[in-house]
Structure 1
Amino acid sequence: MDDLLKKAHDGLLQLPEFQRGWVWDEEGLKGLLTSISRSFPVGAIMTLQTGGEVRFKPRLVEGVPEKNAGVAPEALILDGQQRITSLYQTTMRREVVETINSKKQRIKRFFYIDMAKALDESVDRAEAIIGVPENRKETRNFGREIVRDLSTAEQEYAQCMFPTNRIFDPDSWQMGFYNFWRHDAGPKMDFWFRFLNEILGAFRQYQMPVIQLGNKTSREAVCLVFEKVNTGGKKLDAFELLTAIYAGEENGFELRKKWAECAKRLSGSLALKDHPLTRLQPTEFFQALALLHTLDRRRAILAVNAHAESPPVSCTRETVLSIPLAAYKKHAARLEEGFRKAGNFLFNQHIYWFKDVPYQSQIVPLAAMLAELGDKWDYDAVRSKLAKWYWCGVFGELYGGAIETRFAKDLTDVLAWIEGGPEPATVKDAAFRAERLDTMTSRLSAAYKGVHALLMKEGARDFRSGQSFNQTSYFDEAVDIHHIFPRAWCVKAALQLKEYDTVVNKTPLSYKTNRVIGGEAPSLYLAKLSKEGGVSDAAIDSHLQSHLIDPAVLRSDDFNAFISARREALLALIARAMDKPVYRGEATDEPEGEIPLEEIEAIELA
């Protein structure tokens, strides 16, 4: 352990840039010191030998003098950062340790070992490790009473409190201790040497296992290893690794900064708050970039030899991690434009809010397609095919599982389709079963969100104002999907939740309109809307028809007739979007009911 800490101090053992900051609290530090003092195992350290294919930008262990930043490290810590940093901070640095307490408040501490307690086998060793504030005075009663004062070396000697930052360099402290107790040198020096051998010896002789990965280890293997050992805290993603890799390949290249600038431009590309691109993740951007890079590589090989075995188009994690910096520079700008066009595409489908995006993942291949299509995106025939592909993905519910393979296949298939090739597999395979409509209850469902968007695209107008739902009214009027037959009315009518809580009984409405509707029967709230707004029944009926609602059926308060009629109208709407009929064959053997949103939220909070 002594050797590891010295290498960290000298800059020979550093951290890869993607490692996060040091976060251990005071109790964790004391617990670690306690374990080492008793020679208990604290786990192995895993390092990566430098000088190989994987070149991460290194950074010093926190607390190491900045003058050592220019030292080329021999190895980088993949697992064990917290332990190495904690031990370095508490045993090798003379400066105060900045940590946090149990209340997550920032504090500063010097750590000591109570020599007498440490040597007393009847005392829990944890009681022998203490932390004191930066002024080395422990107080109570709001600072008016000093409990322990270690502000001078003489007070340390007098109270037999050994500073942990002298563990590996105790000689000068030992001499001071001897001089302080020279009138009682015999017993005190016996006491000292027992402490030196039993307690400090445990630190100085501690063997910490080290697993070192060779410098031929691949990027993907490094990432996989790190994820396996980094079970606590935030998951490491490919973007963080690429940030460190690119910084190691080109001095001064700041991928994180470039991504922040790109994300800001995309967020500002639409005059909407919280539009879908505001939630775009860097990992999604790099998945799309991997698609472009591998497609470009495939084309280059086939251009030389049309019969060659070309590498597949891919965006797996391994592929993303293998993207060269040169490929990023080549494709980043046009991919950004592809994502901007993807935002416009969603806008044209009346998907204005990030929470209304059926599948966030589907934006990845869409952006890659648009980057490849360039100006062809302006043609109506191209837009129609993209819309058909998009809605087939949504209502076929094809983007909810393992989707990386579909990303790649859709990119090549759709581009070929636009050039006159066969329909993509996503279009051919998509099928919307009629009975699925009866189980769509959750706003987390992609198909549920799809119906919401299609109704607005169809021209649905608010029951009260008669205003269509464009990008302005959507946010200004707090539009959401609400019950047509109100929940309170349905409960009073003894209807079951599965009967009235599906998307068939819901439609986009403004917040104010939903308040007017309340819990009354449709015939009553429609009359109220007409009277309060001074609007004719014919005008209200026109608004209802824009939602694919039969006005006469709704005004009759006949729930079953309403559900039957609107169900067919929504199925026709979905069929038009997919440009293919819905499936009315036998129901699937799999259960189709969705977990109610309230139950999902309860599970997430548990």
Structure 2
Amino acid sequence: MMLQQGNHQVQFKPRLVDSVALPEPQPPNLLILDGQQRLTTLFMVLLSGQPVVIKDQKSQKLIKKWYYLDIEKCLDPNSDRREAILALPETKKLQTSNGVIDISMPCREYLIGLFPLSKVFFFSEWRSKYSKFWGYNSEKLKLLDTLELEVLKKFEHYQMPVIQLRESLPKEAVCQVFEDTNTSGCDLNFFDLMTASYCADNFSLRDDWKRRETRLKSLKVLRSLRNTDFIQAISLVASYARRQKALLANVNCEKLPAISCRRMEALKVSPEEYQTWADPVMRGFEEAARFLHSQKIFDAIDIAYPIQLVALTAILTLLGKQSESEQIRSRLRHWLWSGMFGEVYTRGHEVRAAHDVLEVPFWLLGGLPPTTISSADFSVYRLLGVRKRYGAVYQGLSALLRLQGAIDWSTGEEINDVLYFEQRVESHHIFPVAWCRKQGIEPKYYNCLVNRTPLSASTNKKIGSKPPSLYLKQFESEGIFPTKLNDMLRSHAIDPTMLRRDDFEGFFAARARALMSLIGNAMGKPLNVEPFEASAREYKNGNGNGFHQSISINQ
């Protein structure tokens, strides 16, 4: 895919294809947008006349190779032609199990029968020297005729599809065309286009990002941060600043600049705006990491919505020192958990981020609550319906349990401490699957989050398939006092009484209510748990009244 040059409003700084050397490079008529690696490889192997620079897979060092065709092998109909390609070091000497291949002199190529791929488009010259070396032997000439017909002509006549974009296309359209036509799944993202565009102003966006990336990714919760995330945060802040400037200038409300981090808006971020906001946004990401750590979200895999991290960063950047007050942090917590458990970032996430950047700072400083909070809701049926070990609800609930100090039952350590030393903590069953099956309990109940909690692998191994009454006695026999063990269970929002008598129905109802209360407090709003209240009031001592059979879960 090529892009015509000539539009002075959309300037990119070009660079030569690797291995191309020109005494006086001229402004190009076309830029390569897609296919650069393939074109570079083809040029280096077939046209450069130089050894090809590659990275060794084992040592990761740069080495140089020459590529040759074994003439007889590539013409053998019973052989795989790919196996006829030889890669020789720069010296053109290769040690093999059958001895040394030495073609450091052209005559050795003729003698061994290896054709250099660097001569594909200069075949007549090579053929002349080869024929002279063999005294114009008819068999050798016939072999070359076959090579030319079956192999080399295919290089000369290969039809390569080319898409040529007109110079009048805006940058966002270039992105869109690329994505619509590229079938390999590789996106030409706006960071790539901005990098080329900024180079025209003698600013290396890629180099600047590399310096920042190392520092940001040293924080575990930011280790999956992408260059596009960083640009989106800058786009939100820069567009917010444009809007504020327009408000001060009394611009009509209908004409106020939009706050956005979508591709079209991100591409409008000028080099000057980037350089103005890059440092503050970087501090914003670091402050976001600190805030998430306070919410016991330690790792990038614990972030349900990366775009919410971008919005959080933009909000913290705009608030600056104001974000350090306890009142604002408390409100930010409600916003964070409302966005996560309300799953409001599932669709239209970039639009939601823009709304939050506009509404949250206003709310934090005394205005109306943002729509992320006012519209967020969480149903008890959602809690019962989640059975997978990923997603916003699972990630959020795991963090909330860590936040309230969930303790590992075997070691007596807080789950947070177990994670700090990078030991495995996963969502494990409280009532083991094997026991639940024997009791006739349905999978949709024993596999849902109500019957799961974060525990270390060693603790889960001790639980095995034993009922709670037995594995709790085992923990006590190892030296844990019953009152201490009860406290550990409560740290996971579990009623110890129900667990000690293997009462699944009572446990299920009590823990569902406890988890709903935990989530509601995090979101800053009461949540409805009516489906459990009637059953809880009627519940009596013993094995229950079939409560688990009366729950209706939306599938």
Shared fold, TM over 0.5: yes
Q: Distance in 2 between matches of 1:511 and 1:184?
A: 75
Q: 5+ unaligned residues in a row in structure 2: which ranges?
A: 532-551
Task: Write out per-residue CA displacement over residues 255-299 of structure 1, whole angstroms, 9 at most, x where no aligned residue.
Answer: 333323323333446xxxx3x122222211211111011111112
CA distance in 2, matches of 1:464, 1:204: 71
Partner-residue secondary structure (3-state), 1:76: strand
Q: Indicate the RMSD between aligned Cα atoms, in angstroms.
A: 4.1
Provide the residue aligned with 1:41 in structure 2: none
Residue 370 of structure 1 corresponds to which residue in structure 2? 316
Maintained 8 Å contact 2:223/2:300? yes
- The 2-side partners of 1:213 and 1:441 are apart by 48
Is residue 551 from structure 1 mapped to residue 496 from structure 2 by the alignment? yes
Aligned length: 530
Give the Cα–Cα distance (whole angstroms) in 2 for the partners of residues 256 and 342 of structure 1.
23
One-letter code of the match for 1:430? A
Q: Say whether 1:222 aligns with 2:174.
A: yes
Query: Is this contact kept in 2: 1:91–1:165, CA < 8 A?
Result: yes
Aligned to 2:198: 246
Compared CA separation, residues 137 and 561, structure 1 to 2 (3 A):
same
Instruction: Give how far 1:47 is off.
Output: 3.8
1:313-355 alpha-carbon deviations (Å, 9 max, x no partner): 1111122222111111111111112111211221121222322
**Aligned residue number for residue 9 of structure 2:** 53
**Secondary structure at the counterpart of residue 547 of structure 1:** coil
CA distance in structure 2 between the aligned counterparts of 1:201 and 1:531, rounded to whole angstroms: 81
Q: What residue is the counterpart of 2:118 in the other structure?
A: 165
Which residue identity is paired with 1:165? S
Q: Deviations over 1:423-450 (max 9, x none)?
A: 2111111111111111122221211221
Q: Percent identity?
A: 37
Structure 2 Cα separation of the partners of residues 452 and 201 of structure 1: 63
- 2:523 aligned with 1:573, yes or no? no
> What's the CA shift for 1:221?
2.2
- Aligned AA (2:36): Q
Rate the CA distance shift 1:55–1:551 in 2: closer, same or farther, 3 A. same
Q: How far did residue 168 of structure 1 move?
A: 4.5
- Greater relative contact order (Cα < 8 A, sep 6+): 1
Q: Is the 8 A contact 1:289 1:331 kept in 2?
A: yes
Q: Give yes or no for the alignment of 1:257 onto 2:231.
A: no
2:32 aligns to what SS in structure 1? strand
Distance change in 2, residues 1:101/1:129 (3 Å): farther
Task: Tell me, yes or no, if structure 1 residue 298 matches structure 2 residue 243.
Answer: yes
Matched, 1:311 2:257: yes
Q: Is the Cα contact below 8 Å between 1:461 and 1:467 reproduced in 2?
A: yes
Unaligned runs of 5+ in 1: 1-44, 594-606
CA contact (8 A) 1:277 1:343 kept: yes
Corresponding position of 2:549:
none
Q: Aligned letter for 2:9?
A: E
Cα shift at 1:107: 8.2
User: Which residue is 2:30 aligned to?
Assistant: 75
Mark the CA change 1:48 to 1:80 in structure 2 (over 3 Å): closer, same or farther.
farther
3-state SS of the aligned residue for 1:258?
helix
1:277 to 222, 235, 246: 222
Change (3 A) 1:207 1:465: closer
Q: Does 1:84 align with 2:29?
A: no
- The answer on whether the counterparts of 2:93 and 2:100 sit within 8 Å (CA) in structure 1 is no
Deviations 1:180-216 (A, max 9, x none): 57x7699999999999999978866877665433333
- Alpha-carbon offset, residue 393 of structure 1: 1.0
Aligned-partner residue type, residue 259 of structure 1: W
Determine the C-alpha separation between the residues in 2 that align with 1:100 and 1:289.
35
Partner of residue 358 from structure 1, selected from 304, 322, 339: 304
How far, CA to CA, are the matches of 1:189 and 1:46 in structure 2? 41
* Alignment check: 8 A CA contact 2:243 2:258 kept: yes
The separation in 2 between residues aligned to 1:125 and 1:326, in whole angstroms, is 56
Please tell me the residue identity of whatever aligns with 2:493: L
Q: How far 1:408 sits from its partner (Å)?
A: 0.2
Aligned mates of 1:448, 1:423 — CA distance in 2: 26
Aligned partner letter, 2:409: F
1:236 aligns with 2:181: no
| Partner of residue 213, structure 1 | 165
Match of 2:438 among 470, 489, 492: 492
CA 1:519–1:54: 2 relative to 1, 3 Å: same
Alignment partners' CA distance in 2, 1:76 and 1:202: 26
Partner of residue 26, structure 1: none
Q: Distance in 1 between matches of 2:363 and 2:224?
A: 30
TM-score (norm 2): 0.81
Deviation string, structure 1 residues 354-399 (Cα, Å, up to 9, x no partner): 2222333211111111111112112222122211111111111111
Change (3 A) 1:584 1:306: farther
Question: In the alignment, residue 436 of structure 1 is paired with which amino acid?
Answer: R
**Alpha-carbon distance in structure 2 between the residues aligned to 1:405 and 1:80:** 33
Q: Is 1:461 equivalent to 2:407 in the alignment? A: yes
Q: Structure 1 residue 557: deviation in Å? A: 0.8
In structure 2, relative to structure 1, the CA distance for the partners of 1:101 and 1:543 (3 Å cut) is: closer
Q: 2:544 matched to which residue of 1?
A: none
